[in-house]
DNA sequence: ATCTTAAATGTATATTTTTGCATAAAAATT
DNA sequence: AATTTTTATGCAAAAATATACATTTAAGAT
């Protein structure tokens, strides 16, 4: 552990940073990794462009030719309209989240009755690397994880998809 | 005009080529401009990477981190237009559709648990002429139909909104 | 056809992005 | 706490991509 890192953190640095990146990307127009890096540095994330490149890869951020001239980086979710509505909906759904348990490469999420399929649908839609597939009943979601993906990997990914979840997942 | 250019062309070279690029991108997995360039050269398009870069910009082709490792180029229509993803989502939701019954100007759709509000939201969003409003519980949707709209009118409208539904509705 | 003008392209180069590798940090284990 | 294992990161170098500028090609105009 780094000496001057007072570990009150809930999430690891990486996840925190990637959430910040997502936010920046949905908030402002980003035309290069350099530009994004500058912003991140100002916000106190002390990283290099290399790390940023890896983060963008993890987040599946696309580089798209801009209408005018130049390019812009875009989180795939942002491409859908009604981003806000989706967000609202997702936040709402999180209320139904009860707990998550693991067994080998399987994870089981317990939800309030009726929530399972909706939450699962959010997961399916996000189509994250770590998840091969989900099966949802009424109050239970079975997640089949990709091999060599750790429990924390999955938790972090879930937080990336549903930020509010952070408050419900203990580390 | 260059001397050895036999002018049978209908479109100009540039357009022809860009169409070819689009086709290639939708047909095969492209991971770099170099790779795409190789294919184009084989097909007889005698250009350089610089031109290709410009073409991709014109076509608004996005570079997206691939699920596994690496990147792929994707024609922006696929990403930009939430059409496709919305469609996917709608198709997914249809799995939750169980049956529909009528009574007067009311229709009741039964769904798998948890699906009702999502499907109802699709209907609300489409805002069809035939429907005044919907109320959704967990596995039931109540549809209030406009007067003088027949059961078949509504069924047809539902199919228009959610094409996959056709397979589930008997006539 | 010849000339003029605008668009497209190649060359070389600059810029940006990605990655292998060594190291540091974090997490798990004892 | 000390050790091992795993994961994240910086650095430097490679790879990929974009572009300024000169040149060629196409398209009109006369």
Indicate which of B65, B83, B136 best probes the interface with A, i.e. most A CBs within 10 Å of its own CB: B65
- pLDDT value for A168: 72
Q: Which residue has the tokens 């228009």?
A: B160
Which residue of B80, B82, B92 is in closest CB contact with A121?
B92
The Cα–Cα gap between A153 and B31 comes to 26
> What class, spelled out in words, does domain B3-78 have in CATH?
mainly alpha
- Strand D reaches within 7 A of the A29 CB: no
- Strand C reaches within 7 A of the A53 CB: yes
Residue A145 C-beta-side C-alpha neighbours within 13 Å: 21
Q: Tens digit of pLDDT for each residue in A76-115? A: 753 433 345 556 667 677 878 888 887 777 788 888 877 8
- pLDDT value for A80: 35
A137–chain B nearest CA distance, Å: 8
> What class, spelled out in words, does domain A81-166 have in CATH?
alpha beta
Least confident of A71-80, A98-107, A129-138, B153-162: A71-80
Closest-CA residue in chain B for A83? B82
The Cα–Cα gap between A54 and B69 comes to 11
- Strand D reaches within 7 A of the B5 CB: yes
The Cα–Cα gap between A19 and A13 comes to 10
Residue B8 CA to C19 C1' — how many Å? 46
- pLDDT value for A68: 62
Residues in A closer than 8 angstroms to B136, CB to CB, are: none
The helix or strand, by DSSP H or E, that contains position A98, with its residue range, turns out to be strand A97-103
Q: Tens digit of pLDDT for each residue in B62-116? A: 999 977 668 989 886 544 443 344 556 666 678 788 888 887 778 888 888 778 8
Nucleotides of C under 7 A from a protein CB: 8-12, 16-20, 24-28
Question: In which residue ranges of chain A is CATH 1.10.10.10 found?
Answer: 3-78
pTM reported for the whole predicted model: 0.55
A11–chain B nearest CA distance, Å: 24
> Mapping DSSP to helix (H, G, I), strand (E, B) and coil, where does residue B98 land?
strand
The Cα–Cα gap between B44 and B135 comes to 59
Question: In which residue ranges of chain A is CATH 3.30.1360.40 found?
Answer: 81-166
Which residue of B92, B93, B138 is in closest CB contact with A114?
B138
């Amino acid at each position: 552990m780094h000496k001057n890192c007072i570990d009150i953190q809930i999430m690891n640095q990486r996840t925190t940073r990637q959430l910040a990146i997502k936010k920046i990307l949905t908030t402002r127009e980003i035309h290069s990794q350099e530009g994004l890096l500058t912003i991140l540095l100002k916000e106190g994330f002390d990283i290099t462009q290399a790390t940023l490149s890896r983060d963008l890869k993890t987040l599946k951020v696309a580089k798209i030719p801009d209408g005018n001239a130049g390019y812009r980086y875009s989180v795939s979710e942002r491409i859908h309209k009604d981003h806000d509505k989706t967000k609202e909906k997702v936040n709402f759904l999180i209320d139904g989240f009860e707990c998550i348990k693991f067994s080998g490469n399987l994870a089981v999420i317990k939800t309030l009755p009726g929530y399972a399929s909706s939450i699962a649908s959010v997961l399916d839609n996000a189509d994250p690397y770590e998840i091969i597939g989900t099966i949802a009943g009424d109050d239970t979601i079975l997640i089949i994880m990709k091999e060599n993906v750790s429990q924390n990997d999955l938790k972090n990914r879930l937080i990336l998809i549903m930020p509010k979840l952070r408050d419900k997942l203990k580390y």
